[in-house]
Every structure is written in structure tokens, then in C-alpha cells.
Structure 1
Amino acid sequence: MSESPRPIVVSVPTDELAADIGAVPEGVDLVVWDLRSPAPRDAFDMVVPPYMSGKRLLSALENISVGMLQSQSIGYEGMGRYLPEGTKLANASSVHETATAEIAVGLAIAAQRDLADYVRNQESARWAPQFSRSVADRTVLVLGYGGVGKAVASRLLPFETTIVPVASRARDEDGVHVHGIDELDELLPRTDILMITLPGGETTKGLIGARELALLPDGALVVNVGRGTVLDTDALVSELQSERLRAALDVVDPEPLPEDHPLWGAPGALVVPHVGGAADAMRPRIAKLVRTQIERLAAGEEPLNIVEP
């Protein structure tokens, strides 16, 4: 009599995510494991770590067989060295683009229309109207034209902006001309809002430094919803303290930003604590992605979103 096949074993970090995934195909064993407690199995076909855990918890995978790690984040830079040998990595493309685009547009509007000033005035019951910049009629350079960059661009177009997409290489895509990164020196002086949506990693680290910031015109706004390491923090602080540029940042370097860091109090700086994807749109979307991955594993199909860390 032949033995029944081994079940496909998938772990998710919370009971909530397990409940959201719902019923799984026959032959799939769905368990809850937060990577902080002892592993409930010695082998997994897929492990979903906690959201925003980064690389901190991946040591829990040591001496455990893991077929695939399904991250809950889009970014995956530097994770390769922490994965068990032979483990595939999938990112959460399709989960966070919409929410990150919302925070990007929100930051741009808040900075242009001086909303932070009005919040401070409200705390002291001070009625103080002021004339501010618009988002309309601005040239927005979207640096990084992947999923997040395209989502941001599509939402900014109805604000009657001019979108200038920039990627690693020039190309025409879906009727849009995408500029190459080698054109930055020519494009930055004509940019009103620099929207950074690039991932982290060695290839993008410090890409926007003192020289690039100096090319921006006076009064330009720098928005970063990609990774903090793309932007030279010291160079940005220097520009802010001179009150030549302004910034609205969802990501910074370092994170978390130390209490005594000069960026907190720099003129024209609006800082939020890396919350681009932290919206309730994430919950059904991550459940849908993980459920799809489970179904593909059960059907013997290649998982989605496999990346090279």
C-alpha cells in the first residue's frame, strides 16, 4: 500500500491572516508561526514572515527546510544572505502599490499646500490663512517607474501635472516615453517635485546626493516613498536648513530616525514613519496573494513574484 503524499506545509504569522486566507486546497497544511516561537514543523513549502520584520527574524529559518519565503513587503534588498540555501524569495508586488501611491500623493499635497502649518495652527486655535503652492501645473519627475512609480504617476496626472518618468534605461512603454537615469542632469533643473519610488540596494544607494539636489530649482519639493538609502540624508538636511528645498518623506536613512536627528526640525521637512503600505487595503490584498501562491503550489505551478535577492 503506497504512502499518501506529504502535505504542502505553509506558515503564516498571524491567526488573522490565516482566517483571511480561508479554506485552502486539499493536501495543504496551513499553520500559524510568527518566527519568534519554535518552528511547528521542520520543513515548509512556504513561509510568510511578519510584516515589516525585515531580516531580523530570518535567523529562525536556520536548520529548517524552506522552499519559498513569501515576503509581505515589495522591497527585498539584502535578504538573500539571510535565506537558507535553495530557498526562493517572492515579494509582495500587487499588495502595496495603491496604498504607497496614496501616501505619495498625500505627502505632495500636504507639503505644497502647507497643511502641516494649519495642523499646528489648529492646536492653538489660530486662524491664519496663507497663500501656498499648488500641485497643478507642476512638473513631477517620478524616479523609478515600476509598480509604485506607475501607480503614483497615474494618480498625479488628474491633478493636471506634467509627469516625467525616469527608469534605469530609456524606453517607450504603453505609449509613455520613459527617460533613462543618465538623463537626470538634464531633467532635474526643470523639476518642481522630485518623486522617488526606487527600491533600496547597492545600485540605488546615494543616487540622489548633494550634486543631484543642487541641480533642482529653488523651492523644489523632494518626496521619497521608495527607500531612505536612495537619498543622501546629510545632503538633504543641508538643503533644507538653507531653506532652498523642501521635503516630504515616508522613508528616511537611518530608520527609525533618532530623536535628536536634525531632519526632524529642518525647515520645510514633513516626515512620516514609513507607513506607505500600512493601510487597511493591505489586509485583503496580502491574503489574496498568499492564497494564490498556495493554490499555485498545490497545482504544481510556479509561484508569482519570484525575485533574485
Structure 2
Amino acid sequence: MTADVWLPMDPAEIDGLPDASAAGFAYRRWDGRGDYPADPADCALYVVPYMLDPAVAKRPLARMTSLHAVQTLTAGVDSIQDGLRPGPHTGVLLCNARGVHEASTAELALALTLAQLRGIPRFVEGQRNEEWHSGFYPALADRSVLIVGYGAIGAAIEDRLTPFECARVARVARHPRTTERGAVHAFTDLPALLPGADVVILSVPLTEDTRSLADAGFLGRMKDGALLVNVSRGPVVDTKALLAETGQGRLRAALDVTDPEPLPAGHPLWHSPGVLISPHVGGSTSAFLPRAKRLLAAQLTRYAAGEPLGNVVRTVA
């Protein structure tokens, strides 16, 4: 008897996939559109389609009663994990896409930081209006940067910060530790670290501990004129508190993610002073597809061989 593996892309386009018949499973393609490719009850491993409405992505889970694992193609798993329930899904492994998005997300974090510091939005507007905005602008060189969330993406951000000659890079994560680059502080150290940072970059996963992490108290501890960059998830930042700070010009922000998202027309965040918004494109670049395919080939090779899967972030209990 075979078990089904649901993939969001044509298995023939993924180099290195194990032979399904030899492994004892069948590949079923489902990208979130149209009817299910087979009975969800026979699905053993579900690869969640990328950039799909979470409600649609979670819909087949209730009928997936033979699941062993769920593989996301996102760095975060917040959009799918609440679809996994104790009882029918007890013991199911939830795996993320570590290794797929670090480079692209880190690139965007640096691009947003540099754009805001060097005045790129003002120059774009000036070109549109045929205005010449010369003068002195902040540089990233000699600035102090605080990375909040020092996992794979946070470390990739620091990799790209290194050539810019920052005065200091501080790191914060859920658990303190020491790396080759220096100490990683605990979240409890944030009140002491925030006042000294010129740039604060958020790259944490969305959990109950990080929801509204950047609240009024967090933002109030940031120094006047500091820049907040968010490439994690929108609800990590309290939007109302951020608007209070940017509205008076005390802080600036560069946001790849917002709360709500997508940001609706007419929302005050669109026009708040000193706010730059990109439409959640940290991971959706040309680097995504080849890296995603390599991840799937590696995970399914492990699965076919009966080996432990990588990137496990949670086991449903």
C-alpha cells in the first residue's frame, strides 16, 4: 500500500527526488487551485504551497488523518501550525524552509536599511518631481545595529552587514549564547540594548512570545531618529504604537511586513512620515525556486530512506 506525498510543483521538475514506486509512495501535485489530487486521508507528507492564502493551505489538513510530516516552503510556520490538531495530528512533524530564504531576506533587510538611511525614497520622489535633493545623509558606516532574532536569517543579515563597517552589531535571541562573532543576548536584555542602537532589525519568528514584541515600551526605548526594519512578520510590531512614533517623526521604519497584511488602501501606515513599505517580498525572489527544490529533494530522500527529517521545528503533541 502506498502513501501519498503532496507537492505544489511538478515532481518531474525537481532533480534528485527519490523514485516514488521504489520508496513506496505516490507523488500528488496540488498548488492550492482546483480539486484535491487524491483523498487527503492518504497523504503522509504535505508540502504546503508557497504564497497561498493560509486558509486555503490549511483546508485539507482536517482530512489528512495519516500525516507523518508537513513541510512548509516558508521560514516561518505561523500560517499553518494552527491547522494541526492534537488527536488526529499527534506526532506529526512540522518542518520549515531553513536554508531557502536566508540570502533573499537578508538582502532585502540591507536594501531597506540602506534605502532609508541614504534617502532613496526622497530621491525617487525628487526624480518624479524633477527636484534635486542634495545634502548630507546618514550612512550605515559607523552606526550601531541591533539584530533582534539571531537565527539563520539574523546571522545572514550580519554576514551582509560586515563589509559596511558598522561601529557595533548586537544580537538578541530567545536563548543567550556565544558565537564566533560574539555574544547573543537574551530578549530580557532588550531594554538595555535598544537605547544604543541606530538601526534595529527584526527577524524573529511569529510566536506568542514575539507577537507585539515591538510595542510602545520597546519603541519608546529606541533613540531619537533610530530606524526600525521589520523582515519578520507584521504582528511582531504594534502598528498603533509605531504610528505614534513615526507620526511625530521621532522614529523611522522600513517594513517588508505589516499588520494588517496586505496593507489596505487608506491605512495611515502608507503615508506616515519616514516609513518605507515593501509588499512582503523578502523570500519571493529568483533564489527561491532552486533552493526550495533542493530542500524538497533532500527531505524526501531522507523520508524514503526512513531517516530523520531536517528542519523540524515542532512535533504535534
- 1:283 aligned counterpart, secondary structure: helix
How is 1:55-204 mapped onto 2 (pairs within 5 angstroms)? 55-57=54-56, 58-64=58-64, 65-77=66-78, 79-83=80-84, 85-86=89-90, 87-161=92-166, 162-204=168-210
Bigger share in helix: 2
| 1:19 and 2:13 are equivalent in the alignment | yes
Deviates more, 1:191-200 or 1:28-37: 28-37
Within 2, Cα distance between the matches of 1:234 and 1:277? Answer: 26
* TM-score of the aligned structures, taking structure 2 as reference length: 0.90
- Are the counterparts in 2 of residues 18 and 30 from structure 1 also a CA contact under 8 Å? no
Q: Deviations 1:43-77 (Å, cap 9, x if unpaired)?
A: 12212121122531211233233222111111112
Equivalent of 1:237, from 243, 268, 283? 243
Within 1, Cα distance between the matches of 2:32 and 2:302? Answer: 24
Equivalent of 2:254, from 239, 242, 248? 248
- Are the counterparts in 2 of residues 218 and 244 from structure 1 also a CA contact under 8 Å? yes
Structure 1 stretches of 4+ moved >4 Å = none
Identity over the aligned pairs, expressed in percent? 40
Within 2, Cα distance between the matches of 1:286 and 1:76? Answer: 15
Residue correspondences, number: 303
Q: Deviations 1:252-302 (Å, cap 9, x if unpaired)?
A: 111111211111000000001111001010110000000111111111111
Shift in Å, 1:175: 4.7
- 1:10 aligned counterpart, secondary structure: strand
Shift in Å, 1:18: 4.7
Within 1, Cα distance between the matches of 2:214 and 2:231? Answer: 14
Residue in structure 2 matched with residue 217 of structure 1 by the alignment: 223
- Are the counterparts in 1 of residues 212 and 238 from structure 2 also a CA contact under 8 Å? yes
Within 2, Cα distance between the matches of 1:31 and 1:207? Answer: 40
- Are the counterparts in 1 of residues 269 and 275 from structure 2 also a CA contact under 8 Å? yes
- 1:275 aligned counterpart, secondary structure: coil
**What RMSD, in angstroms, separates the aligned Cα atoms of the two structures?**
1.8
Residue in structure 2 matched with residue 3 of structure 1 by the alignment: none
* TM-score of the aligned structures, taking structure 1 as reference length: 0.92
Within 2, Cα distance between the matches of 1:142 and 1:100? Answer: 13
How is 1:15-54 mapped onto 2 (pairs within 5 angstroms)? 15=10, 18-21=12-15, 24-25=18-19, 26-27=22-23, 28-42=25-39, 43-53=42-52
- Are the counterparts in 2 of residues 142 and 194 from structure 1 also a CA contact under 8 Å? yes
Deviates more, 1:129-138 or 1:280-289: 129-138
Shift in Å, 1:158: 1.2
Within 1, Cα distance between the matches of 2:63 and 2:78? Answer: 23
Give the gaps of 5 or more residues in structure 2: none
Shift in Å, 1:23: 5.0
Q: Taking structure 1 as reference, are residues 13 and 211 closer, same or farther at Cα in structure 2, changes over 3 Å only? A: same
Within 2, Cα distance between the matches of 1:254 and 1:174? Answer: 38
